[in-house]
Structure formats: structure tokens, C-alpha cells
Amino acid sequence: KQEVTQIPAALSVPEGENLVLNCSFTDSAIYNLQWFRQDPGKGLTSLLLIQSSQREQTSGRLNASLDKSSGRSTLYIAASQPGDSATYLCAVPDDKLIFGTGTRLQVFP
């Protein structure tokens, strides 16, 4: 049974810092991994989708890497801003999407 965990559960940093959010999954037989952002009281926004054949994907200040063999993905946020404050979720597909528990990020001015 696929299990997805994320660390840290919460992170509070001053703006400008480079951040690393971690996602681990137990079954490496995935065909992609997706990172989402959730703003308080709002829905989920898809940030990046990495196919199993890829090692990383980049979008602006975000970079996500995928290491299937070790069952890990990392979301790297460069030069963090207060607007990055949100909960970040990773998810892997099984016959449905399996979500991690999320990392709550707060970036303060």
C-alpha cells in the first residue's frame, strides 16, 4: 500500500531564504509525482508534475526533483517570498491520488 509522507510538517522562515521541502513514498513504482499548493481556505493549485522518466521539473523559482529508487521527491523554492506562504502537498497516483500530509510554510517579511 502506497504511503506518502512529508517533512517538515511546518516551516517558518524570513523572506529571501532558499527552501527545501521533502516528500517520501513507499512504493517506487509510480508513473509521476505532483506537487500542489493550498492557500488557506482555498483549493489546490497544481505546481509541478514530474513524470517517472524525468529527474526534475522547473517552474519559475520552483524546482522539483524525483528519485524513484529512493522513493523521494524534493521541492526547492528559491528566494522565498511572503506570497509563498501556503501548505504544500505532494501526491502520487495509484488508482487514485495519494497525498502526503503537507508542509505548512510561512515566509515572513
Partner 1 sequence: DTAVSQTPKYLVTQMGNDKSIKCEQNLGHDTMYWYKQDSKKFLKIMFSYNNKELIINETVPNRFSPKSPDKAHLNLHINSLELGDSAVYFCASSQVGQGQAFFGQGTRLTVV
Long-range contacts of 45-54 (CB under 8 A, 24+ apart): 47/75, 47/88, 48/75
Question: Taking CB under 8 A as the rule, does residue 107 contact partner 1?
Answer: no
Contacts of 11 (CB under 8 A, 6+ apart): 19, 21, 103, 104, 105, 106
Question: Taking CB under 8 A as the rule, does residue 66 contact partner 1?
Answer: no
Binding-site member from 75, 89, 105, 107 for partner 1 (CB under 8 A): 89
- The site string for partner 1 over 21-60 (x = CB under 8 A, - otherwise) reads ----------xx-x-x-x--xxxxxx--x-x---------
Look up cell 506570497; give the residue. Answer: 83
The binding site for partner 1 (CB under 8 A) comprises: 31-32, 34, 36, 38, 41-46, 49, 51, 87, 89, 91, 93, 95-97, 99, 101-102, 104
